[in-house]
Structure 1
Amino acid sequence: MPSMNESFQVFLESFKESWENCSIEDFKRIISIEYQAREIRNSEIFDFGYEESIQGWELAFHEFRNKDVQWVLEEKGIIQLKENEIMVILSASLIIEGKSLKTANLFFQTFRLEDSVWKLIRSYIEAGLPLDEMDYLNNFCS
């Protein structure tokens, strides 16, 4: 039987693939119905739950469907919070028609192992950060 860390690594790779492939069906299964999130964008605070999250991902994934869009997801860190909870720090940016956007979002995603299934339970998101700040974070975290 794989350890929690091994099962999480397999799950995390699958989660990132679902994101890169814009799979809303996978996100509906991965995000906990009890999900809570906070996003900071242009100094404004947005708190939301499962329904709003799914609606937001559906809009984003629909917008990018059939377009030359590539997600760039980078792991910045993984922290075990509790016996059954792990936080992943990810940056997400986009390349649209071969051109990299100048901003990225920084996600602090908390996952919980529930009945042998990993679920996304909380997120804190700093949106619209300059990409050069992500480069600084790479140097800081390495």
Structure 2
Amino acid sequence: MYNLFRKFLNIYLDAWRSSSLDRMRELISKDYKAREIKDGDIIDFGFEESIIGWAQGFLFAKENNAEWELNEVSIIPLRTDEIMVIISATITLNGKSTNSGHLFFQTFRKESLGKWKLIRSHIEAGISLHNLRNIQFT
């Protein structure tokens, strides 16, 4: 199972790094649910709102010739058909990282026909770059 998931995760991260909205849309479940916390505010959203958010982020990256810096923090099997991946994400503009980024706790499920889909996310937004780079799990 892990090898198949690893292939999927590589496809997912490549879609993110290349700002491919069409590919990202295919990798997210229509039943997707998410929560983002930014500056203490909590925002809950679903599939359609996530696509709008990805579109805005990808447009910003393309218009500013930015690059996504994605780091896998941890991969945690939750159930036989679910895996959580913790990813830190920042944007690099003109060769310089922004001052902050996000920490994504993303759960993927193996759906019918053996396809993996992103089903839920918890996103901690606006974390200082220093804190993101010093993440340690004990």
TM-score (norm 1): 0.93
**What residue in structure 2 maps to residue 48 of structure 1?**
45
Q: Where has structure 1 moved over 4 Å in runs of 4 or more?
A: none
Contact 1:85 1:112 in 2 (8 A): yes
Structure 2, gaps ≥5 residues long: none
**What residue in structure 1 maps to residue 76 of structure 2?**
79
* Deviation of the 1:91 alpha carbon: 0.1
**What residue in structure 2 maps to residue 122 of structure 1?**
120
Q: Which amino acid aligns with 2:115?
A: V
In 1, the alpha carbon distance for the partners of 2:37 and 2:71 equals: 19
1:113 is matched with which residue: 95, 98, 110?
Answer: 110
* Number of positions where the alignment pairs a residue of Structure 1 with one of Structure 2: 137
The CA deviation string for residues 74-95 of structure 1, in whole angstroms up to 9 with x for no partner, is: 0000100000000000000010
TM-score (norm 2): 0.95
Contact 1:81 1:87 in 2 (8 A): yes
Cα RMSD between the aligned structures? Answer: 1.1
Whether 1:61 aligns to 2:89 is no
Deviates more, 1:59-68 or 1:5-14: 59-68
Q: Percent identity?
A: 43
The CA deviation string for residues 121-140 of structure 1, in whole angstroms up to 9 with x for no partner, is: 00000000001111221xx2
In 2, the alpha carbon distance for the partners of 1:67 and 1:104 equals: 17
Q: Which amino acid aligns with 1:36?
A: K
